[in-house]
Structure 1
Amino acid sequence: MSDTILDSLPYYDIDLEQPSLRALVDAEIALELRRTPKLATDPRVPPDFRQFANNEFLAAELARIQKNEPLAALDTTRYSLPTPTDPNASEEDWSGALNNARSQLEHQSTRQINLALLQTYGPNAWKVHNYLLEADAVLVEKELERLRERVTDINRDRKNTQLHTGKLLTSLETRWTELVSNVIQIELANIALEAEVEQLRQQELTMEQS
């Protein structure tokens, strides 16, 4: 069976605004969907887009935000300077504490260097960054406007198509009603003729017997 594309006619089927009729139509559509082996996606629908498909970390973070889960707290124990509490601590314990203190000192020194670099080059870097963001924002706004115009054009074409199709459906429905009415009239005429023929036949039999 070939692919099937289902679409509604909201610009034509205004009767669906009635709740009782809509429920009946929805039930019929659900029944028809179960009978349809395969549904094709409308070619005008863009393919599925998965954000951060190439970055598992950002994808996981986005999923966390969507689930309203709290952000995991930072582990601050790595920045502490614990010392051996045991008076009989070994030289190895004190060496470990000393190495940790040296690491923390080096970390603080690196932070001071980074802060100095940020104070020197940070303002200009942020100005350039903001300029690039503004340029990106202009491009995004233009793309958004283009997509809005595209959506408007699609809706306009869809409305025109549905109204044209609706007129055709109305014409066909009217023609169908006329044909059904003609068939009923013909059937009634046939019944009347059959009754008249039967009456004439009875009269003929009566005349022959007399």
Structure 2
Amino acid sequence: MVGEDRIIKRGSGGASTTCENDASLRTGPPLRNAKAFELQFMDEGADWDNRQTATMPLSRPPPSSALPFVEPVPSAKAMAAANSLIESEFPHDYITTPHPSLPTARNIKYSDLIEAEHTRLSSDLPREADAGIDLTRYAPPEAPSSTASKETWTTALQQAYTSAKYLSARSINLSLLETYGRNAWLVGNSQLENELKGLEADVERAKLEQEAVEQARRTVQDNAEGEIRGLEDGWRSGVGRMIEVLAASERVKGEILEKRRMGAR
């Protein structure tokens, strides 16, 4: 309700503010005061929008509401405000704490030999002279002494049979590797290359689809840009005319009130 000396203005954000009625608004020319009223209204509406932007909760609009080819690029101040809102939503330890949706890491248990090598590498110690592959595993076992017992000779013979069988299997594997290893390696590389080509083709296909969608979005938004601009200008013009009408009505009410006061004297 409009009082005698106070008027109610409603900003673009929908918030009502109360201000003292200016005397020049009641007595001055309506168009000039309406223009000043419109400028003040738009400035306060922009301030309200800025306050709303700074305090509104972070939300993700649907993709259809984005108009990157029509809307202007956000300013550095707006981007800083948006980034501050995003940062405020993150927990304080989000950089060092893994996300809950990530699977837990497996506990890997290394052998004692690997652990010893890790310790040596972390300590920058030189490699020992006798470190590496134990060549005695591939050497024939030594025969016991002539005075050894029968059990000792039996054990040595069993170890010799085992070593001979092991070395024979390794010799067969090495000969097979020498004969067919190169071709198997080339076939494996060819299969990996074919898989890589398929993945690259999928990536290229996805890029083409993305470019097609982007071009379609650009075309639709370019075609609708004129209509959007026209609607925006019409809205601004309507708001301006509404403010002029409000200012003129307030001036008329002020004149009526002044005449009533003069008639009551």
Q: TM-score range by the shorter chain?
A: 0.5 to 0.7
Do the aligned partners of residues 119 and 175 (structure 1) sit closer, same or farther apart at CA in structure 2, a change above 3 Å counting? same
Match of 2:77 among 16, 20, 45: 20
Q: Secondary structure at the match of 2:73?
A: helix
For the 8 Å contact 1:79–1:104, the answer to whether it is kept is: no
Q: Describe the shift of the 1:167–1:105 C-alpha distance in structure 2 as closer, same or farther (beyond 3 A).
A: farther
- Corresponding letter in the other structure for 2:202: E
Which of 202, 212, 233 aligns to 1:174? It is 233
CA distance 1:152–1:80, shift in 2 (3 Å): farther
CA-to-aligned-CA distance 1:56-111 (integer Å, 9 cap, x gap): xxx97xxx9xxxxxx97699678755x9xxxxxxx999988886676555433222
Q: Give, in angstroms, the shift of residue 190 of structure 1.
A: 0.5
Q: Which has the higher contact order (CA 8 A, sep 6+)?
A: 2
Q: Residues 109 and 5 (structure 1 numbering): CA distance in 2 closer, same or farther, change over 3 Å?
A: farther
Q: CA shift at 1:30, angstroms?
A: 7.8
Unaligned runs of 5+ in 1: 35-49, 51-58, 65-70, 84-90
Question: Does the Cα contact within 8 Å between 1:12 and 1:163 map onto a contact in 2?
Answer: yes
Matched with 2:210 is: 151
SS state at 1:11 partner:
coil
Pair 11,26 (structure 1): closer, same or farther in 2 beyond 3 Å:
farther
- Aligned match of 2:62: 6
- TM-score norm. by structure 2 comes to 0.44
Match in the other structure for 1:88:
none
**Deviation of the 1:186 alpha carbon:** 0.8
* Letter aligned with residue 252 of structure 2: L
1:48-197 paired onto structure 2 within 5 Å = 81=137, 103-163=162-222, 169-197=228-256
- Kindly report the root-mean-square deviation, in angstroms, between the aligned alpha carbons of the 2 structures: 4.8
Q: State the percentage of identical aligned residues.
A: 25
Partner of 1:43: none
Structure 2, gaps ≥5 residues long: 1-59, 91-101, 109-113, 119-130, 142-149
Could you give the per-residue CA deviations for residues 32-55 of structure 1, whole angstroms, max 9, x where no partner exists?
A: x99xxxxxxxxxxxxxxx9xxxxx
- Alpha carbons of structure 1 residues 154 and 168: separation in structure 2 relative to 1, 3 Å: same
- The 1:11/1:101 distance shift into structure 2, 3 A limit, reads farther
Counterpart of 2:12 in structure 1 is: none
Is the CA contact (8 Å cut-off) linking 1:11 and 1:163 kept in structure 2?
yes
Compute the TM-score of the two structures, normalised by the length of structure 1: 0.52
Cα distance in 2, alignment partners of residues 198 and 25 from structure 1: 49
Q: Of Structure 1 and Structure 2, which has the larger fraction of its residues in helix?
A: 1
Hey, what's the Cα distance between the residues in 2 that align with 1:78 and 1:127? Answer: 31
Q: Which moved more, 1:147-156 or 1:104-113?
A: 104-113
CA contact (8 A) 1:15 1:21 kept: no
* Contact 1:9–1:162 (Cα < 8 Å) also in 2: yes
Tell me if the contact between 1:11 and 1:159 (Cα under 8 Å) persists in the aligned partners.
yes
Distance 1:96 1:9 in 2: 85
Deviation at 1:121, TM superposition (A): 2.5
Larger radius of gyration: 2
In structure 2, do the counterparts of structure 1 residues 127 and 189 end up closer, same or farther at CA, with 3 Å as the change threshold?
same
- String of CA shifts for 1:125-161, please: whole Å, max 9, x gaps: 3444444344334333322221111121233234345
